[in-house]
Structure formats: C-alpha cells, structure tokens
Amino acid sequence: MGSGISKKKSNIICVGLDNSGKSTILNKLKSDKEQSHDIVPTVGFSVESFSASSINFTVFDMSGQGKYRNLWEAHYNDVDGVIMVVDSSDKLRIVVAKEELENFLQHNDIKNKGIPILVYSNKMDVRDSLSPSQVSLKLELDQIRNKPWQIFGSNALTGENLGEGVNWLAAQIRQYRLKRQ
C-alpha cells in the first residue's frame, strides 16, 4: 500500500516573484543526472518534472508576469502541494510577495484545500538578509489556518536546506492523501 501512495504522481506548484531563485532551486532539486547546468531564465511559465523522496513532482514554475496568470491558474485544481520561494534579501519586494501569496490562498481552487505550503526563505547567504522568522512575520504565515505550512531558510546556490524542505513537503502530502482515503 505504501508504495502505491508514493508512486502516485504529485502536482507541486512553485510560486514566487521573478529573481527569487525558483529556477535555481528546481535545478538543484533534480537528481544530478537530470540536472541542467545551464539555468534557463524563467520566462513566464515552464513545467518541470523531477522526483524527490520517492514522490514525483511536477512543478509549474511561474514568474511574476501577470499575463501568464490564467495559464497557471488552470493547474490549481489538481495541486497537491505548494513551494513558495521568497528572496529574503529583497526587503522591498517582500510586500509584493505577501500580496501574491494572499491572492493565491484566496483563490477558489485553493482556499478550501488543506494542501501543504512550503516556503523557502531563499538567499539566506546574502548579508543582511531577513531571517526565516522575519520573513514568516512579513508574510503573516501565522494567518494561514487551514493548511500546514513550514518555512526553511535556504541557499539555492549550495543547496543548503532544500532537501529538508522537500522532505517536509513530501511527508505532508503523504499524510494529506492518507486522510482523504
């Protein structure tokens, strides 16, 4: 039974403003053989597939460009988990990131689902960047009532803490599935 669950494909969407580090994170999370060394800048929308923690992830990588919004909103109805990437060194645009997260959480296809939200407080290596608890306060994560969430400080360049985050997400998705069976 366990393997049946872990083999089921999960749809993870990755959200975050442009330049937050989404492409770098996704490339790091891919297995070494799949890893592309030329990171292609995110242009609006791309679909990435990779596996981690025995769960297959399909990732919709979105940029902050509004014109692609309808395209990625179409994938909201079968989403199992969310990765939100925040640039912890960009203290100005974290306000915009908060608005994006708020809008996302209020979306009809999302608001009543208990899907897990993983937040990477990325670029923690940058001097004077915000700590994960500061980012958590700015994003008002404690206002999220009906979804499990967790924030991890990450450095996408070295990969530090990326695995921890994804393991948390994978465990949450398994629990969510078990609850609904």
The 9-48 contact track toward ligand G3D, x by CB under 6 A, reads -------x-xxxxxxx----------------xx------
Which is closer to ligand G3D, CB of 30 or CB of 123? 123
Element (H, E) at 11: strand 9-16
Does 132 sit near ligand G3D (CB under 6 A)? no
Which is closer to ligand G3D, CB of 122 or CB of 136? 122
Minimum distance of ligand G3D from residue 158's CB (angstroms): 8
Which is closer to ligand G3D, CB of 64 or CB of 176? 64
Select the residue interacting with ligand G3D from 72, 123, 153, 165 (CB under 6 A): 123
Element (H, E) at 32: none
Which is closer to ligand G3D, CB of 73 or CB of 125? 125
- The count of residues interacting with ligand G3D (CB under 6 A) is 17
Cα–Cα distance measured from residue 48 to residue 50, given in angstroms and rounded to the nearest whole number: 7
Select the residue interacting with ligand G3D from 130, 139, 156, 162 (CB under 6 A): 156
Cα–Cα distance measured from residue 181 to residue 95, given in angstroms and rounded to the nearest whole number: 38
The contacts found for 170-176 with CB under 8 angstroms, 24 or more apart, are 170/10, 170/52, 170/53, 170/54, 170/55, 171/53, 172/81, 172/116, 172/148, 173/10, 173/55, 173/80, 173/81, 173/116, 174/5, 174/6, 174/55, 176/80, 176/81, 176/114, 176/115, 176/116
Select the residue interacting with ligand G3D from 11, 58, 122, 161 (CB under 6 A): 122
Could you tell me where the DSSP H helices lie in the chain? 2-7, 22-29, 69-73, 94-106, 132-139, 162-180
Which is closer to ligand G3D, CB of 123 or CB of 174? 123
Applying CB under 6 A, the span of 2-10, 45-53, 69-77, 149-157 interacting with ligand G3D comes to 149-157
| Residues in touch with ligand G3D (CB under 6 A) | 16, 18-24, 41-42, 122-123, 125-126, 155-157
